[in-house]
Structure 1
Amino acid sequence: MRLSRLALTAIAALALGSAAMAQEVTLRFQHFVSPLSANPTYFMQPWADKIEKDSGGRIKVELYPFMQLGGKAPSQYDLIRDGAIDGGWVIPGYQPGRFPEAEALELPFIVTKNAEEASKAAWIYTQKYLMDDFADVKLIAAHMHGPGIIHKTGAPVATVEDIAGLKLRGPSRPATLLLKKLGATPVGMAVPAFPEALAKGVLDGGVITWEMSPSLKLDELTDSHTDVAGDRSLYNLFFIWAMNKAKYESLPPDLRAVIDANSGFYASAWAGRAHDTGDKDGRDQMAAAGNAIATLSEEETARIKALGDEVIAEWIDEVTARGLDGAALVEDVRAAVQVTRSASQ
């Protein structure tokens, strides 16, 4: 039986439409750490797998570690914004002064050591203050890592005086402000440069999480690891997981919905939880290597916290002079932390 030309045209159109619906979209996301570290292992790759599953295989997310697609870690936000990559992991603090309201989340002893709780608070705070800052990308998650630990060569830190004179890597402006208050010589440095600086003796140590310790070989490059007492962190770092806005908007509505369903509060908590898992693993590996693991006394922690309070007061004055309400920013971080802490109890 012959089909009419009209019927053949209709069949062809349907076939083309079905092919378009089944077409695979490949998104290239980039980060700057080992694929074996906590966030890529427990968040990024599972997130990518879930996007593929939820889209029925129509979206594939490829992850590129160690900045393999080009550029430097401090430029990651601009690489995403400008479309050099489809998405990736960003530390806003790697560009000091660009996102001043984000710094409130990184001030000393302001968020808890539980990264999932801290990340939920970060998302709440981000929704109130940072969406305009990140308006030129598609924001997927805003999260915190776990507590920053002092890693150094030689004996662990036991007093504030033990920190004085040390050359220590710091990841963000709030962290380096605290290190300076403690008498250290802070050296602002992105994480990929940290191991080489230790190996060459440029640094005595630095502050970073437990979970990053194995991938940076801190079991070999340092001898001791010191945390503060209590449930608040010496410092935490703020991250975003983001996508190029034009790429996101080019997706059909049903695929944008897949990204949306795996974004926001849920994704932020997931990313924070990844760091909690990695922190336990990292601490265990440092201990298994025979390195000294220490926690400062409550008295010494109180001395550091007092210096941290000075950092916070000076930060409030500084950003208020720039036209922001510094006191309100700090108060809202604390309020968000309290909400998420209460919800977890």
Structure 2
Amino acid sequence: MTFLSKTAALTMLAVSATSLPSLAQEVTLRFQHFVSPLSANPTYFMEPWARKIEADSNGRIKVELYPFMQLGGKAPNMYDLIRDGAVDGGWVIPGYQPGRFPEAEALELPFMTTKTGEDASKAAWVYTQKHLMDDFADVKVIAAHMHGRGLVHKKGPAIAELSDFEGLKLRGPSRPATLLLREMGATPVGMAVPAFPEALSRGVVDGGVITWEMSPSLKLDELTDSHTDVAGDKSLYNLFFLWAMNKAKYDSLPDDLKAVIDANSGFAASAWAGRAHDTGDAEGKQAMADAGNEIATMSEELTAEIVTLGEAVTETWIAEMTDKGLDGAGLVADARAAVQVTRSDNQPLN
């Protein structure tokens, strides 16, 4: 080999060596949430999602999950923690900051979604793509999802009449939920989920609305006595979630690792997150039954009364959005259309 050819070969090796770190880049992503790691979404969505990211990247991405806000901050501030890079990603409830993301509230209005988290989450992704991506432009949205049925958990007997709500202080997770509780005669107390068990134990609230799946991790078998759902296939209320990533962190990834994140984002990931709640709902309901708690369903007549109150909440919300310069009626119509087209008893949306 001549001197020139040796030099050329060494140059090629040097170029290859400098490119190796990018080809074998290892990235650790720290995702945070605010509930028990044993609750449904972390168990059946977050943890499997993290392991799939690691597998699909051939180990080049490591995902660490931190429950109970272990990396700092408060649950209502999760969007800002992700946006500002305090964490690489995590679980957001936009409704914990009332008024900040008003268009998202359309999905949370009374009796808007079906009682299955999977169907509701498919609708959430469709609606998000149409109306919310500008609102969430400063993060990387991985999934937009909903939980399953929301119901009333309280001390004392189950709800049997509308008058049973009078005098009850009930926890609500979002502005639409607290508006409905007020219409039903209760005193609503806006509260993030981590504060709910202590508020119950101290008598700050008499109960609240939340899912079956959160019941065991919140010890509602011990802290409440009854669990009352509405009749029919629509949920009393629902809550909108984001599984999101810091945009700068996502942008810093090489294209092939961005592709791994993208392949595990979107419609299918949103449905997966909702399905996790459905699995947890079945387990949570069984746990409350096993504890001997009262499990009840309101009569169709009482449910119809509450539906009427819910319609009043929706009309009030439409008027508020119109005053803000938004098309409130159009947002409600689009949310309903998204729910309808993604129902499991219709043709699945690809």
TM-score in terms of structure 1 length: 0.97
Does the Cα contact within 8 Å between 1:117 and 1:344 map onto a contact in 2?
A: no
Match of 2:177 in 1: 175
The within-5 A match list for 1:241-256 is 241-256=243-258
Match of 2:221 in 1: 219
Separation of aligned partners in 1, 2:82 and 2:166 = 39
User: Which sections of structure 1, spanning at least 5 residues, go unmatched?
Assistant: none
SS in 1 for 2:127: helix
How far off is 1:6 after superposition? 4.4
Match of 2:347 in 1: 343
Once the two structures are superposed, residues 292-343 of structure 1 have per-residue CA deviations (whole angstroms, 9 ceiling, x without a partner) of 0000000000011110000001110111111011111101111111101122
SS in 2 for 1:214: coil
How far off is 1:201 after superposition? 1.0
Once the two structures are superposed, residues 41-76 of structure 1 have per-residue CA deviations (whole angstroms, 9 ceiling, x without a partner) of 000011101111111111111100000000000000
Pairing partner for 1:257 from 237, 255, 259: 259
How far off is 1:163 after superposition? 1.0
How far off is 1:111 after superposition? 0.7
RMSD of equivalent CA atoms: 1.4
User: Which sections of structure 2, spanning at least 5 residues, go unmatched?
Assistant: none
The within-5 A match list for 1:94-243 is 94-243=96-245
* Equivalenced residues, count: 345
How far off is 1:9 after superposition? 4.2
The within-5 A match list for 1:271-310 is 271-310=273-312
How far off is 1:149 after superposition? 1.1
Match of 2:325 in 1: 323
Does the Cα contact within 8 Å between 1:158 and 1:296 map onto a contact in 2?
A: yes
Does the Cα contact within 8 Å between 1:167 and 1:184 map onto a contact in 2?
A: yes
Match of 2:26 in 1: 24
The percentage of counterpart residues that share the same residue type is 76
Does the Cα contact within 8 Å between 1:36 and 1:215 map onto a contact in 2?
A: yes
SS in 2 for 1:343: coil
TM-score in terms of structure 2 length: 0.96
Runs (4 or more) in structure 1 with deviation over 4 Å come to none
Separation of aligned partners in 1, 2:161 and 2:23 = 63
Separation of aligned partners in 2, 1:21 and 1:220 = 53
How far off is 1:17 after superposition? 2.4
Does the Cα contact within 8 Å between 2:170 and 2:205 map onto a contact in 1?
A: yes
Once the two structures are superposed, residues 265-308 of structure 1 have per-residue CA deviations (whole angstroms, 9 ceiling, x without a partner) of 01101100000100001000000011000000000000111100
